[in-house]
Amino acid sequence: MPRLSGWFVRAALAYLAVGFTLGALILAEKGVSYAPMLWRYLPVHYELLLVGWLIQLALGVAFWILPRFPQGAPRGNEALIWLSFALLNLGIACVVAETVLSIQGLRLVGRAIESGGVLAFVWGSWRRVRPTVV
């Protein structure tokens, strides 16, 4: 597995652990009311699991598994994929910060940054998507 894919997958696993734990706490609060303010963090739970876990895992595995180039850099311009990793995680941080710190407008900024991260990944990986010759 390439080092960059490892970073994507490890970050995804960290988001899975935190998102799952937060979800378990929210669910437990539903059964035994001990901290009603936990429901405020339901959007954070969604963000961590959908964008942090699912999308990041998919991008990491895609970077690993897409066909390599026969000459030159085997996986193309890795700088774009590193940029994608950084933007995706910065965007997640912004979206989570809006809920945790109650700063209005960060969710929109975070979504824009996440979108930029996905676009950087697409741009950096597009040429690697090609049919195989049988």
pLDDT in tens, 70-118: 776 777 788 999 999 999 999 999 999 999 998 899 999 999 999 999 9
pLDDT in tens, 25-55: 999 988 888 888 888 999 999 999 999 999 9
pLDDT of residue 133: 62
| This prediction's pTM | 0.86
| CATH architecture designation of domain 3-128 | Up-down Bundle (1.20)
Task: Confirm if 45 and 22 have CB atoms less than 8 A apart.
Answer: yes
Helices (H) and strands (E) in the chain, counts: 5, 0
134 pLDDT more than 60: no
């935190």: which residue's tokens?
18
For the chain, the domains span 3-128
Distance CA 71, CA 46 (A): 41
**Number of other CB atoms surrounding residue 95 within 10 Å:** 25
C-alpha distances in Å from residue 18, one per residue of 62, 75, 105, 128: 23, 31, 24, 33
